[in-house]
Structure 1
Amino acid sequence: MTYVIAGGCVDVKDKACLDECPVDCIYEGPRSQYIHPDECVDCGACEPVCPVEAIYFESELPDRWSDFARANAEVFIPLGSPGGASGLPVLAADHPLVAALPAGDPVAGGAR
């Protein structure tokens, strides 16, 4: 299990979580941020600082955002595990799930 960034982050990307992550496992995409499941140490430091409450422990994802666990893992297939996001550019593309969401989509935004 790992932490997952869900739909509330799409088109928001506050980035408070980046400063809190002790292992630098949160990567930025064009429309959302993603937690690398192989690099996350499950510390939970990112969850309470997210102003849109978009970060969940994988087993606690709401049903409407359950596909975001897969999206957070699959977005890293082309990248592999670089061992940290610092110094890397924004990911070339968002996961197709995120990319397909229209701006302002109610599935993407909203509180828990």
Structure 2
Amino acid sequence: MIDEIFGLSNAIRYVAIYKNGELIMKSRTDTANASSSESDRYEELLVNPTLLTLTTQRGRIDCGGLDYLLVRYGNFFQFVLPKKWGHVSVCIETEADPIKIGDALKNLLR
């Protein structure tokens, strides 16, 4: 599945799938200003699950739920798609359209 996700756009820097407590990640080797793989690992194990929990709960109150989470860091976008079993996270170059790539990701995973 990771290779299929990379096939959506050349602007995808890395893909992470956190499924049932197991993390699988793959990065492109030719990215500028990339964060460390150890930092990315903690983002997927700690930061994104926490943000998804908070925003999912908030979304359920009176916002109609949560569709996805988009974070704009200085060097890239992080598109996080919640799934019943965990999440899929895609790191995207800043000059790309993260919503378009995110929509393609959602269609792929349907």
TM over 0.5: no
Report which of the two structures shows the higher radius of gyration computed on alpha carbons.
2
What TM-score results when the alignment is normalised by the length of structure 1? 0.29
Return the structure number with greater helix share.
2
What TM-score results when the alignment is normalised by the length of structure 2? 0.30
Return the structure number with greater strand share.
2
Structure with the bigger RCO (C-alpha within 8 Å, sep 6+) is 1
